[in-house]
């Protein structure tokens, strides 16, 4: 049985309750975990606050050195952690390895930011006066992470938060607490001082809500559903808040596209991780000149995917029964809103066939709402302008893609697509840790990774040195 990690110690929850994490492919229990509550959150925040006074004064390059040690241990443990990702979350083992590699990459990248942590200098408008900016930590950061990238996303938040000098209270998703617990064990092994990182497992209601409302948390970073993001916006008060709330990501396939390349990207984008990515390609917007040929190739390629345990199959299970029921409901709706050409059935347990609908209208619910499962809608258009209009017709704006050989069409799409990311001749997924990640509209606000990840977990302070020896008033005030 695993415990909470508060103030550098593994402790039981004050609730006296536990919950189990299970393998979605087999139903087997992975382990039992503490069902934390508001009292545990308060203890974690106090521990983080106590550690902050010293941690923020540790030189940023030294903090970066600890991140490098974390990356080293992650690399050593990569095979074991990847298998745990597959067992606890369900994605195929190759993706589990990628999940851990992403964590390694982001800790290595953010370690380097400890040697930079740049502000900027600028001339003053007055003589004998020096002006610059510096970056400062925010304070205690609450991190609430999802289950679909159970190692990578906590790492995306932890690495910049820590190198920037913040302390952390981490609440992982209740479907994947084992992955987060193993990650925190590695952070402790690397030598992080007690209280710098604290882990509280438990439900959103019992742990997440108290974190959102806690006055001792200065910064809150959340990845999850739009509905929960709206709750956070209404209840977090004046905390610095970053929200990544999903997507309804389009892949545009123009009449001059390399269809084989497009099909490869669509299959990976729509059915990789069983469609359980915020960047999943859930809409294909196909030019009418190639729609028929594209669908034929896409159906043929999708039929080759094997569904089963992620250790040796292409498409794993949905994460839990609620996710399965949601997919089933949308498929039933899709049969009324479009034409089913592949899949549409539940297999044994939490497994579901990769599913494709054609003849879908842009306004259909299956083309507007995030399904978070292996369901793809194909919409037909007559022009690039119409394709971009359809792509922008949802409330989300995370990732987008266009397949075309026309450089003008590519640059037009880059300019006009309402999304935080646009890929040209590639799928909607595959973020690199040295570039910013995030979206617009109902996808939320803020950016993770790259230099924007540092900005997300720090504040800008403007500094003036006046060495004139007299009071100088700006704006030419006498």
List the pLDDT tens digit at each of the 478 positions of the chain. 999 999 999 999 999 999 999 999 999 999 999 999 999 999 999 999 999 999 999 999 999 999 999 999 999 999 999 999 999 999 999 999 999 999 999 999 999 999 999 999 999 999 999 999 999 999 999 999 999 999 999 999 999 999 999 999 999 999 999 999 999 999 999 999 999 999 999 999 999 999 999 999 999 999 999 999 999 999 999 999 999 999 999 999 999 999 999 999 999 999 999 999 999 999 999 999 999 999 999 999 999 999 999 999 999 999 999 999 999 999 999 999 999 999 999 999 999 999 999 999 999 999 999 999 999 999 999 999 999 999 999 999 999 999 999 999 999 999 999 999 999 999 999 889 999 999 999 999 999 999 999 999 999 999 999 999 999 988 878 6
Whether 93 and 205 map to the same domain: the answer is yes
The answer to the question of residue 474 being in a domain is no
Whether 389 and 335 map to the same domain: the answer is yes
Whether 219 and 79 map to the same domain: the answer is yes
Query: From its phi and psi, is residue 172 left (phi > 0), alpha (psi between -120 and 50) or beta?
Result: beta
Tally of structural domains, the chain: 2
Q: What share of the chain is helix, strand, coil (3-state, %, to 5)?
A: 40, 20, 40
The answer to the question of residue 436 being in a domain is no
Residue 123: give the domain boundaries.
4-245+448-463
User: What is the Cα gyration radius of the chain?
Assistant: 24
**pLDDT of the residue at 453:** 95
- CATH number of the domain bearing residue 181: 3.40.605.10
Whether 152 and 230 map to the same domain: the answer is yes
The closest alpha carbon to 157, from 186, 180, 134, 189, belongs to 180
Whether 189 and 53 map to the same domain: the answer is yes
- CATH number of the domain bearing residue 266: 3.40.309.10
**pLDDT of the residue at 431:** 87
For residue 419, the 8-state DSSP code is S
Q: Please say whether the dihedral angle defined by the alpha carbons of residues 314, 437, 72 and 183, taken in this order, is positive or negative.
A: negative
Distance of CA 134 to the CA centre of its chain: 28
Report the side by side order of strands in the sheet with 399-403. Answer: 339-342, 355-358, 375-381, 281-287, 249-253, 399-403, 421-424
The answer to the question of residue 374 being in a domain is yes
**pLDDT of the residue at 40:** 98
Whether 279 and 347 map to the same domain: the answer is yes
Whether 223 and 333 map to the same domain: the answer is no
Whether 231 and 260 map to the same domain: the answer is no
Whether 350 and 277 map to the same domain: the answer is yes
Whether 67 and 168 map to the same domain: the answer is yes
Rounded to two decimals, the pTM is 0.96
The answer to the question of residue 439 being in a domain is no
Q: How far is CA 366 from CA 269, 271, 378, in A?
A: 17, 16, 10
- Geometric angle at alpha carbon 227, from 223 and 229, rounded to 5°: 40
**pLDDT of the residue at 478:** 66
The answer to the question of residue 272 being in a domain is yes
CB 3 within 8 A of CB 11: yes
The answer to the question of residue 441 being in a domain is no
* Residues recognised as catalytic: 278
The answer to the question of residue 304 being in a domain is yes
- How far apart are the C-alpha atoms of 350 and 310, rounded to whole Å? 12
The answer to the question of residue 469 being in a domain is no
Residue 357 CB neighbours (<10 A): 26
CB 142 within 8 A of CB 214: yes
Whether 28 and 65 map to the same domain: the answer is yes
**pLDDT of the residue at 261:** 98
Whether 266 and 230 map to the same domain: the answer is no
Q: At 469, list the tokens.
A: 């020896």
**pLDDT of the residue at 463:** 98
């Amino acid at each position: 049985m695993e415990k909470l990690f508060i103030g550098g110690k593994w402790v039981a929850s004050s609730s006296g309750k536990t919950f189990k994490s299970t393998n979605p492919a087999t139903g087997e229990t992975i382990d039992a975990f503490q069902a934390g509550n508001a009292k545990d959150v308060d203890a974690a925040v106090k521990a983080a606050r106590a550690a902050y006074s010293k941690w923020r004064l540790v030189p940023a390059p030294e903090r970066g050195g600890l991140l490098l040690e974390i990356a080293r241990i992650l690399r050593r443990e990569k095979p074991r952690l990847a298998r745990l990702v597959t067992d606890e979350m369900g994605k195929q083992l190759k993706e589990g390895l990628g999940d851990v590699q992403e964590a390694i990459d982001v800790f290595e990248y953010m370690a380097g930011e400890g040697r930079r942590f740049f502000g900027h200098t600028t001339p003053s408008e007055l003589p004998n006066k020096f002006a610059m900016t510096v970056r400062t930590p925010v304070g205690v950061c609450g991190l609430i992470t999802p289950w679909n990238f159970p190692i990578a996303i906590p790492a995306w938040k932890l690495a910049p938060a820590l190198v920037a000098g913040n302390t952390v209270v981490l609440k992982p998703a209740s479907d994947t607490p084992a992955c987060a617990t193993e990650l925190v064990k590695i952070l402790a092994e690397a030598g992080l001082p007690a209280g710098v990182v604290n882990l509280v497992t438990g439900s959103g209601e019992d742990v997440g809500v108290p974190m959102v409302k806690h006055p001792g948390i200065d910064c809150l970073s959340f990845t999850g559903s739009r509905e929960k993001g709206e709750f956070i916006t209404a209840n977090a008060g004046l905390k610095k808040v970053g929200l990544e709330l999903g997507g309804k990501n389009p892949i545009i396939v123009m009449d001059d596209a390399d269809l084989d390349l497009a099909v490869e990207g669509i299959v990976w984008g729509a059915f990789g991780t069983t469609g359980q990515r915020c960047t999943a390609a859930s809409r294909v917007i196909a030019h009418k000149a190639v729609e028929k040929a594209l669908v034929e190739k896409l159906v043929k390629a999708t039929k080759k995917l094997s569904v089963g345990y992620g250790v040796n199959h292409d498409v794993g299970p949905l994460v839990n029964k609620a996710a399965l029921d949601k997919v089933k409901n949308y498929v039933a709706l899709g049969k009324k809103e479009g034409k089913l050409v592949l899949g549409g059935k539940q297999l044994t347990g939490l497994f579901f066939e990769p599913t494709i609908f054609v003849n879908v209208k842009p306004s259909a619910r299956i083309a507007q709402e995030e399904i978070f499962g292996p369901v793809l809608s194909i919409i037909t258009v007559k022009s690039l302008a119409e394709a971009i209009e359809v792509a922008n017709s949802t409330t989300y704006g995370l990732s987008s893609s266009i397949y075309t050989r026309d450089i003008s069409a590519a640059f037009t799409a880059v300019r006009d697509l309402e999304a935080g990311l646009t890929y040209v001749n590639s799928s909607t997924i595959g973020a690199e840790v040295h570039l910013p990640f995030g979206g617009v509209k109902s996808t939320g606000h803020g950016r993770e990774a790259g230099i924007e990840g540092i900005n997300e977990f720090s504040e800008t302070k403007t500094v003036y040195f006046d060495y004139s020896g007299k009071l100088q008033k700006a704006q030419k005030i006498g």
